[in-house]
Chain A
């Protein structure tokens, strides 16, 4: 069973995003970039399925600028077998990424695509579902447990109000939630080995995909700041403030 794992290069989880002075976007020059945390969980799950003898090959795919090679190397160091970069300098929105991944899936013919439920930059939460629909496949989003057995997947999903269990026939798309697994750190020997693993570069035109953005960002602003609050000395003062000042209890 071949697994395709899409990975995205995003601002590092620990960096606070700052709006550019001209309001055109987020300042990303000289900012630490990493693999989207949900995609790390996806790579980990795919590699575990390979280690369990269920998956035969794990192919990592990234769409974006040439620097996404670093993200792909990180996936290879975690245990992916090979990588594909769809290189583009155009801003790629979820619909375009899903179209590129559809084209990759038609070439690679995987049984299973596992990706992060959302990227922590644009917070869209769309790509996996879009890909599943374009391929005519079933989906299980927000997965906290994935079991593969007899050509079927059983997935526990995190939903509002609790958990839900689905079974899916393959091929299918699964998107990861936080509690699916804890991704491993790549070891130094594996980082070295990753440099020798195959990384193919394609362009959207090679795949016949039009990636023109459908949404235009008119401006990016900072959210209204909360005005500085006050420290209260003790519990009675807190309760008095909530009763008399905020008048909320």
Chain B
């Protein structure tokens, strides 16, 4: 039994979510290989070789894989999948994009957003916006699994895997990258932050969002996030969205400020250790999940909170 974990990276550095996916593979058991597919990504392969529990890193380094297009990554994975019992990737926009192609080409089901491993063929995954947990058993020869990063602790370093070079296929040309517009952000990564400050429609505007929440995030060294309502209203970019169809986060401390708490939002932050809600509506559903609820006008409470934190 050998698992193949597809590494997420930007050709320069390994993304932290890969460590959570390797952790899920360790719970499955057996050998673990990691595939690093990209261009000029040797340093990423070296970083993956240090992950605890990984025995082999397969590195496909070539210009055809530079942009990590779904068609090309999936084609490469399928070409080497015969050697594996399990194929895993993080359930991020990277993994969600190519992994179902792998499953379809192998003619197997995919098990999405796994949060626990019960047996090598049995997994737990949230459904219905996290309002239920389904335990599912796969009858397929290869188990194709996307791993929800918050479900598994990151593996440690200290490993010394062998790096094996693969021939990188040329790009298929089915899709072509024109460009990426990445949000510049000096703050911790939302998926990995210990503290998250999140704002909703109650803030009223993008200007208020920044004016009120940035000082709080600065003080706490927190990542910043938002509800769908705040993103739809244009307060912040799309990648700030936490929820059923946005990012899933599980920080130690989550501030929900001016967020009513629709079930779709709760699905993205329910696993946070401590939830603080500040909202002027005492009946807002967010208070039903908050460890500490403060019914107050956020325009007064948030500056006061920043001052109080010293």
Contacts and interface: CB of A to CB of B under 8 A. Distances in A.
A88 interface: no
A160 B240 CA distance: 9
A31 to B, nearest CB: 11
Interface in B84-134: 92-94, 96-105, 107-113, 122, 126-134
A235 B182 contact: no
Interface in A92-151: 93-95, 98, 117-118, 120-134, 137-142, 144
B135 A219 contact: yes
B108 A236 contact: no
Given A93-B109, A232-B293, A246 B274 contact: yes
B14 interface: no
A56 interface: no
Interface string A205-228: 000000001111111111100101
A179 B232 contact: yes
Contacts of B305: 235, 238-239
A172 B304 CA distance: 53
A248 B253 contact: yes
A200 B273 CA distance: 51
Interface stretch (A57-65, A69-77, A162-170, A191-199): A162-170
Nearest to A154: B178
Contacts of B173: 169
A140 B175 contact: yes
A215 B93 contact: no
Interface in A1-54: 11, 13, 16-19, 26, 38
The residue among A16, A121, A215, A234 with the most chain B CB atoms within 10 A of its own CB is A215
A162 B293 contact: no
Contacts of A223: 126, 130-133, 270
Contacts of B295: 231
B253 A138 contact: no
30 contacts: A17-B129, A95-B109, A123-B126, A129-B97, A130-B104, A133-B101, A134-B105, A159-B180, A162-B181, A163-B180, A163-B181, A164-B180, A164-B181, A165-B177, A165-B180, A167-B175, A169-B174, A179-B231, A215-B111, A215-B138, A223-B130, A223-B270, A229-B287, A229-B289, A229-B291, A230-B293, A232-B293, A234-B294, A239-B308, A242-B253
Interface of A: 11, 13, 16-19, 26, 38, 93-95, 98, 117-118, 120-134, 137-142, 144, 154, 157-169, 172, 177-179, 213-223, 226, 228-232, 234-236, 238-239, 241-242, 246, 248-249
Going nearest first, the 4 A-B pairs with the smallest beta carbon separation are A138-B174, A129-B100, A17-B128, A133-B101
